[in-house]
Amino acid sequence: MSKIILHIDLNTFFVRCEELVNPSLEGKAVIIGHSGRGGIVSTCSYEARKYGVHSGQPTFKALELCPNAIVIHGHYDLYSRKSKEFFNFVKQYSQIIEKASIDECYVDMTKQLSHEKDVVKYLKDFQNKLLENVGLKCSIGVAPTKFLAKMASDMKKPMGITIIRRRDVRKMLDPLPISSFYGIGKKTAPRLEEMGIRTIGDLAVLINKDDFETKQAFGKFYYVIKDWINGYGSDEVDVEPWDPKSIGHSTTFVRDSSDYDEIRGYLKDLAKEVSDEAKEKGKIGYNVQLVLKTNEFKTINRSVKLSKPTNDFETIFNEASILLEKNLNHQDIRLCGVTLQNLIYASDYVEQLSIFDNYDEINEKNATKDLIRELNRKMKGAMFMRASDILKENKHGH
């Protein structure tokens, strides 16, 4: 039996967050980005889009098209907080969740929906409760694979629900422009159009004939595309294990960017998420890794070894920022990620002892740490701490 995979995509997420703080923005043309000659539109409201404003556009050009638009620089702490509320809400329906970015996820709902008589009614209820309880709007795609679910969620916005069954793939995908094919970058689409491939249907015909020129165009990605375009491909929703060897978060941008300050803004949010999760799980790590994915799907992995393990937000953010500065090289980036690697329990870490240390006291502390670590492992969470550690956290305002 095919799985039932959902792709849940929050509608104009950043704009919606700003509306929740300032309801007077609702129904108005809003641009999230920076003003001035070097400013770029990160995202915008549907009202602004009616004037031709879009992500990646210079802000001054957007304001020429829509002079009354309200420009907001963005409040990323707010977006991070509302994102967590969103994922906590989704977990009430299923624990099999893969976070795709700050405002979208894949969810395996096979068990919940296999015997549901009215799937659309069920999902409409989900949308309404998300709006009522969290204040966010979403579109939902339903399909047997992650690719099809992603394509489906893009078809009706805002607050849309689209179901693609495998038997409906040709009917629903073939008429769409090739530029709408998820995974085909903005540089690849024009090249395909030059080859006469203007719709997904055009591509399907050539791929199913194993056309040589098309194979050459896609290289090793060709067979992935062939599966996707015929309704197959991955249906595995990747859930992070409870006790991982690393803790990482990534986000796919609304638009490709080569702007250091903009990408660094995303890294700040990601570093905070990594730090918070590591502290929650009682973990510290020896390495900070930066992951960048270009618009041509080239992946750049760089990491740095720390002088001592940490879960400190500022340390993680600063190290990731240094790696970004060294490796960005004016490339167009579509995804960035921050990972804390080589994790150990914080209770396992012992500073190098000096000859003046009291060994009896240290051995007693380590025995206590061992007991606490074992209890936490059995409870599957950082449920126990030493009183001295709690006092230390309170002293520093945590």
Question: How sure is the predictor about 243, in pLDDT bands with cuts at 50, 70 and 90?
Answer: low
CATH topology of domain 247-395: Dna Ligase; domain 1 (3.30.1490)
**Residue 123 CB coordination number (10 Å):** 21
* Averaged pLDDT for residues 65-74: 93
- The pLDDT of residue 34 is above 90: no
| Domain regions of the chain by residue span | 1-164, 170-232, 247-395
pLDDT of residue 323: 96
> Using one digit for the tens of pLDDT, what is the confidence trace for 160-183?
999 999 999 999 999 999 999 998
pLDDT at 352: 43
User: Within 10 Å of residue 398's Cβ, how many Cβ atoms?
Assistant: 8
**pLDDT tens per residue, range 305-346:** 999 999 999 999 999 999 999 999 889 998 999 999 999 877
Instruction: Render the burial of 164-191: b for 16+ CB within 10 Å, e for the rest.
Output: beeeebeebbeeeebbebeebbeebbee
- At residue 362, the pLDDT reads 44
Q: How confident is the model at residue 384 (pLDDT cuts 50, 70, 90)?
A: low
For residues 33 and 56, give the distance between their C-alpha atoms in angstroms, rounded to a whole number: 10
Q: Is the pLDDT of residue 106 over 60?
A: yes
pLDDT at residue 104 greater than cutoff 80: yes
Cα Rg of the chain (Å, integer):
24
Max mean pLDDT among 39-43, 94-98, 342-346 falls in 94-98
Residue 397 banded pLDDT, cuts 50, 70, 90: very low
Burial-class residue 281 by CB neighbours within 10 Å (0-12, 13-18, 19+): buried
Fill in the DSSP letter of residue 73. Answer: -
Tokens representing residue 55 in the block? 């992500």
pLDDT > 90? residue 364: no
The confidence score (pLDDT) of residue 175 equals: 97
Residue with the larger pLDDT of the pair 363 and 143: 143
Catalytic annotation present for 194: no
- CATH level 2 (architecture), domain 170-232: Orthogonal Bundle (1.10)
**Do 83 and 68 meet the contact criterion of CB atoms below 8 Å apart?**
no
Which has the higher per-residue pLDDT, 183 or 354? 183
Residue 323: exposed, middle, or buried by beta-carbon count in 10 A (0-12, 13-18, 19+)?
buried
88 band by pLDDT with thresholds 50, 70 and 90: very high
User: Is residue 59 within 8 Å of 31, Cβ to Cβ?
Assistant: yes
Check whether 227 has a pLDDT greater than 90.
yes
User: What average pLDDT does the segment 47-51 reach?
Assistant: 96
Q: List the catalytic residue out of 104, 262, 273, 319.
A: 104
pLDDT at 297: 76
pLDDT at 348 exceeding the cut of 90: no
Please give the Cα distance from 205 to 202 (Å, whole number): 5
Give 374's pLDDT tier (boundaries 50, 70, 90): low
Average pLDDT, the chain: 86
User: What's the burial of 112, exposed, middle or buried (CB within 10 Å: 0-12/13-18/19+)?
Assistant: middle
Q: What is the mean pLDDT of residues 54-74?
A: 91
Asked if residue 369 has pLDDT above 70, the reply is: no
CATH topology assigned to domain 1-164: Alpha-Beta Plaits (3.30.70)
- Torsional sign, CA 353, 357, 363, 368: negative
pLDDT at 252: 82
Confidence (pLDDT) at 253: 83
In Å, how far are 63, 294, 312, 324 from 261, measured between CA atoms?
22, 17, 21, 10
pLDDT of residue 280: 76
Give the best-scoring range by mean pLDDT among 84-93, 271-280, 370-379. 84-93
What average pLDDT score do residues 16-20 get? 96
Q: What does pTM read for this prediction?
A: 0.65
pLDDT band with cut points at 50, 70 and 90 for residue 27:
very high
Q: CA angle, corner 239, sides to 234 and 245, nearest 5?
A: 120
Mean pLDDT of 290-310: 91
At 60, list the tokens: 């001054």
Instruction: Give the residue-averaged pLDDT of 239-259.
Output: 79
**Residue length, the chain?**
398
- Model confidence band, residue 244 (pLDDT cutoffs 50, 70, 90): low
